[in-house]
Structure 1
Amino acid sequence: MNRTRTLAALFLATAASAAFAAAPPFDTPARVAYLVDLSSGAELLAKDADKPMPPASMAKMMTSEVAFELIKSGQLPLSKMCTVRPETWKQWHSAGSTMFLSVNEQVSVENLLHGVVTLSGNDASVVLAECIAGTEQAFANQMNALAKRLGMKNSRFCNATGWPDEGCTSTTARDLAILARASIERHPKLYKQFYGQPKFTWGKTLGSGSDITQANRNPILGVVPGADGLKTGHTEEAGYGFTGSAEQNGRRLVMVLAGLDSFNGRISESNRLMSWGFGAWQSRPLVAANTPVGSAKVQLGDAAEVPLVAPRAIAVTYPAGTVGGEPKLRIAYNGPLKAPIAKGAEVAQLIVTTPDGTVQRMPLVAAEAVDEAGFFGRLWLGLKQLVGLA
């Protein structure tokens, strides 16, 4: 069952029902819109956030994320050279966005990632997929396996590009935000290296052989302060979409828009939504990273309880201009927890209820490992339970 423990050292714990804060409304012509504050986990806007939709080129975020995971684990060097197969070039050299690769060209993983992220190259995406997994279908299997690990419950990937495939590739705005967060928080160095680049140069023009430089299509880059990602998408079926992120004064927002009817509409709505997120809401520090905030009971462990800490700095988000009142906090977990428990494992949530009734949820992790109790330990626990001491 769900167990809660009071955070007596911080605030009095109370329960409340979830609701959106009374912030100024945001109306958008986008069919789908989602905005989340990563510093608190607060959802600032959710319009059909769980509605299945084609991601178009926003699917390339997952193509990049698979590569990031392999690079981080040491299985994929950035310097690895990949070959542009003639069949791949023939299919993709003039289909949608392109990196302008050449037949049999040798291209490093690093440059292909720039081609995927900055240029949205379909050719770059497929060449990278084939280089990693042998075939695009095998790579799609890796995309789906990673999506499952990240908790993207409503996503399915059937290709590396987001190219229309009769509905086989599908996702949701909430899942795209989960994916964006993974890139930002799991791979900060790679995220900084590849996302947010204003332009990239690759390929030669016919005739003069001049270098081809293409600009990043990110509509908030260089416009919204702190903007540094992520990916646009467009097909006739999907409309114009964008998953974006920006950080200001330590507060990071992730937004997803989809189903807009024009290129210019995507620009205006992306900038308007991100500006609204920073302007209509404010964030206040709550708990510093690695700060103990309570404990959770443990069953059949070599310790009866495990301390809980915040894995990162936690803040709470309010509508701008909110004055007075303190948030109320409680710890929730499914317990008692069962040993063994690894140090750093996410085992509980900090539930924050703001004065206006909004509920925000943040992860808490085990501050130390708890091993299973040995034979005599289990015997002692059994005796304690028998006499009512446990």
Structure 2
Amino acid sequence: MKPVSKLLLLSLLFVLPGVFAQTPQAIPDPPAVAAKGYLLIDFNSGQILAEKNADERLEPASLTKIMTGYVVFRELAAGKIALGDQVLISERAWRTGGSKMFVEVGKQVSIQDLLMGMIVQSGNDASVALAEHVAGSVEAFADLMNANAQRLGMTNSHFTNPHGLPDPELYITARDIALVAMAIVREFPEFYGWYSTREFTFNEITQHNRNPLLRRDESADGIKTGYTQAAGYCLVSSAKRNDMRLISVVMGSPTPNARADASLALMNYGFRYYESHLLYPADEPVESFRVWKGDQEWLPVGPVSDVFATFPRGRYAELAARLEKAEANLTAPIASGTPVGEVIVTFDGAEINRLPLIGLAGIEKGNLWQIARDSVLGLFQSQ
């Protein structure tokens, strides 16, 4: 195998020409914000930049609707429902308390309007109508929410309804809700744009998006506010500046202004003191691994998804990468897409990212001569 570490380090140097001209700076502690729990994460790399009580179970209020939206988007993507489908509004949906888009019992409303009513107007009535249409009942829809939460790795969350009104068995963590927020941005860009809609009119009633960052930060484009007396004021926000996107989760702030100030302070901290870069695109070769007893000797390998690194500004020199093979000797046949190792990114000697490496081509079993030759070479290699 070729000398991997030298190859990778040299390729990193060419990703960001001139980066060494920056002067390293000390990273201050994250800002002190008024919240029971918070999390600041880089969307591309998954690197946590700041957190407090991120794994504490807290009441989500209307942050619950982020998961509701995700479940509905998956149903749309699977072709099980369509945006134009008409939903008959039940008495249960109409009677649901809290924030409303003001649907009327017995009327029909499109799924698209209900989604806009939930996303922009935070309509609890819209959330119930969507849940009943997708799953038949609120309770069955909650089962879908929990199944998707488990699939996304939200191990400390549990859902009982689609709107977030208080329930003893309804809870999330800041870390978990960030996972589903990032999943929406990543999986459903065609729907994510709705989260930056400033206002929506339904039934001749115009309501404005409750997200204050849409008015205070031009780079912000989502995602959702929440409030109940028990949960306090909550906000999951997302912003993109240049090629860097950050997600912040603020839960349990004492006032609406406090949650907005906390979210903006965390965003400004992350963008000011950190940078994020694509190191290796998905499905592009970064090295070739020797394969034994195959019709080809070398297998091009690359990451299964884009490899990003997020690190303090001006400290690129402390970034390094290496490859690790899954097995000492790879033996044919190997199908294209087979995991064959990992790419590991470190900063200042500490691991910050790790992604699977896959074979970018298929190698068939060799002929008798190729197998015999490699068997002999293998004997010498093992001595």
TM-score by length of 2: 0.82
Measured after TM superposition, the shift of residue 256 of structure 1 is 0.5
Match of 2:136 among 134, 145, 152: 134
Partner of residue 198, structure 1: 198
Partner of residue 366, structure 1: 358
Partner of residue 104, structure 2: 102
Deviation by residue 1:323-351 (Cα, 9 ceiling, x = unmatched): 56241112357668999988668776533
For 2:378 and 2:315, the matched residues in 1 are separated by 51
Letter of the structure 1 residue corresponding to residue 75 of structure 2: L
Report the more deviating stretch, 63-72 or 335-344: 335-344
The question of whether the paired residues in 1 share the 8 Å contact of 2:302 and 2:360 is answered with: no
User: Aligned-pair RMSD on alpha carbons?
Assistant: 3.5
Measured after TM superposition, the shift of residue 295 of structure 1 is 6.2
- Structure 1 residue 69 and structure 2 residue 74: aligned? yes
Letter of the structure 2 residue corresponding to residue 43 of structure 1: I
For 2:50 and 2:58, the matched residues in 1 are separated by 18
The question of whether the paired residues in 1 share the 8 Å contact of 2:292 and 2:332 is answered with: yes
Partner of residue 32, structure 1: 37
For 2:293 and 2:36, the matched residues in 1 are separated by 50
Structure 1 residues 165 and 249, CA, compared in 2 at 3 Å: closer, same or farther? same
Pairing 1:173-212 to 2, within 5 Å after superposition: 173-192=174-193, 194-203=194-203, 211-212=204-205
How many percent identity over aligned positions? 38
Q: How many residues align?
A: 364
Structure 1 residues 9 and 89, CA, compared in 2 at 3 Å: closer, same or farther? same
The question of whether the paired residues in 2 share the 8 Å contact of 1:7 and 1:293 is answered with: no
Q: Pick the structure with greater CA Rg.
A: 2
**What is the DSSP-based 3-state SS (H/G/I as helix, E as strand, rest coil) of the residue aligned with 1:350?**
strand
For 1:149 and 1:371, the matched residues in 2 are separated by 32
Letter of the structure 2 residue corresponding to residue 9 of structure 1: L
Partner of residue 78, structure 1: 83
Partner of residue 50, structure 1: 55
Partner of residue 261, structure 1: 254
Partner of residue 13, structure 2: none
The question of whether the paired residues in 1 share the 8 Å contact of 2:93 and 2:126 is answered with: no
**What is the DSSP-based 3-state SS (H/G/I as helix, E as strand, rest coil) of the residue aligned with 2:213?**
coil
Structure 1: stretches of 5+ with no match in the other structure:
13-20, 204-210
**What is the DSSP-based 3-state SS (H/G/I as helix, E as strand, rest coil) of the residue aligned with 1:221?**
helix
Measured after TM superposition, the shift of residue 80 of structure 1 is 0.6
TM-score by length of 1: 0.81
Partner of residue 123, structure 1: 125
The question of whether the paired residues in 2 share the 8 Å contact of 1:40 and 1:362 is answered with: no
Structure 2: stretches of 5+ with no match in the other structure:
11-24
Instruction: Identify which of structures 1 and 2 has the higher relative contact order when contacts are C-alpha pairs closer than 8 Å and 6+ apart.
Output: 1
Measured after TM superposition, the shift of residue 224 of structure 1 is 1.7
Letter of the structure 1 residue corresponding to residue 152 of structure 2: L
For 1:304 and 1:159, the matched residues in 2 are separated by 56
Letter of the structure 1 residue corresponding to residue 280 of structure 2: V
The question of whether the paired residues in 2 share the 8 Å contact of 1:341 and 1:366 is answered with: no
Partner of residue 16, structure 1: none
The question of whether the paired residues in 2 share the 8 Å contact of 1:349 and 1:361 is answered with: no
Structure 1 residues 371 and 89, CA, compared in 2 at 3 Å: closer, same or farther? farther
Pairing 1:282-297 to 2, within 5 Å after superposition: 282-294=275-287
Measured after TM superposition, the shift of residue 60 of structure 1 is 0.5
Partner of residue 153, structure 1: 155
For 1:333 and 1:367, the matched residues in 2 are separated by 11
For 1:178 and 1:285, the matched residues in 2 are separated by 20
Structure 1 residues 370 and 177, CA, compared in 2 at 3 Å: closer, same or farther? farther
The question of whether the paired residues in 1 share the 8 Å contact of 2:232 and 2:254 is answered with: yes
Structure 1 residues 54 and 367, CA, compared in 2 at 3 Å: closer, same or farther? farther
The question of whether the paired residues in 2 share the 8 Å contact of 1:246 and 1:254 is answered with: yes
Partner of residue 27, structure 2: 23
**What is the DSSP-based 3-state SS (H/G/I as helix, E as strand, rest coil) of the residue aligned with 2:215?**
coil
Report the more deviating stretch, 218-227 or 236-245: 218-227
For 2:351 and 2:211, the matched residues in 1 are separated by 32
For 2:293 and 2:166, the matched residues in 1 are separated by 52
The question of whether the paired residues in 2 share the 8 Å contact of 1:152 and 1:178 is answered with: yes
